[in-house]
Amino acid sequence: MTRLPEEIALAEAIAAIAPSGVRIGCRMIRDGDEAHLLPGEAHSLPARQPGMRRASGAARWIAHGLLAELGVGDVAILRTPTGAPVWPDGITGSLAHDDDMAVAAVAPIGDIASLGIDVEPAQPLPDDTLALVTTPADRTDAADRHLAGRILFAAKEAVYKAVYPLDREVLGYEDITVDLNAGQATTKTGRKARLVYCAAPRVVVLAFVDGDGV
């Protein structure tokens, strides 16, 4: 498969931010990517529009490759009724996509207890969405001011994905406080997650909870 320039650029950017032990990858969503879904995966996905199935196929194609690097092969990444992916025992992972790009991250459970990822276009977040996402306690001074809202949004999405498997609690944006200056986030339950991100060629945020659960 010929890699596209944006795939190469984003792959380099996310490799630079990935913590030790985390494998991360990306793929531009292509026509026919739904064919990468394993039979069990396709069955676990609700009947959705073809574009969503293509995106899910692209994200799982990445994840299958990352799992193979860990010695885990031919494992279907099923979708639960809550929408969360089911990972093999001993593995934590996360999937995400925007309209054009899919990303995935996996890691053995150990130093990292759980992780979450999100990808967004590198564009300012609309004001109405920003108003829903932001709380007075959020700190985004360290981020590019044009993209700070988008990074904040992606961070809260990634944090939710990282903490939900541990706490099984539904959180709103107001329940997650993000400090991009310190590279961390805290939920209303006191759960802490660390954050790393890139802002070009797309915004990608990886949130992860340390193995000590703090």
Q: What is the mean pLDDT of residues 42-48?
A: 85
174 close to 160: Cβ distance less than 8 angstroms: no
| Statement: residue 160 has pLDDT above 70 | yes
Q: Which whole number is the average pLDDT over 90-99?
A: 98
Please, which residues have CB within 8 angstroms of residue 122's CB and are 6 or more apart in sequence? 147, 150, 199, 200, 201, 202, 203
| Average pLDDT rounded to a whole number, residues 157-170 | 97
Tokens of 161: 């994905």
Cis peptide before 201 (omega within 30 of 0): yes
What amino acid is encoded at 146 in this protein?
H
Burial class for 56, CB neighbours closer than 10 Å (0-12, 13-18, 19+): buried
Specify the DSSP class assigned to residue 37. Answer: S
Length of the chain (residues): 214
Rounded to an integer, the average pLDDT of 59-64 is: 98
Measured distance CA(92)–CA(193) in Å, rounded? 14
pLDDT on residue 212: 76
Q: C-alpha dihedral over 26, 59, 118, 8, to 10 degrees?
A: 10
| Residue 213: pLDDT band with limits 50, 70, 90 | low
Share of the chain above pLDDT 70, in %: 98
Cβ density class 62-85: b for 16+ within 10 Å, e for less: bbbebbeebebeebbbbbeeeeeb
CATH architecture entry for 5-110: Alpha-Beta Complex (3.90)
Entry pTM: 0.96
Confidence of residue 82 (pLDDT cuts 50, 70, 90): confident
- With pLDDT > 90 as the criterion, what percentage of the chain qualifies? 92
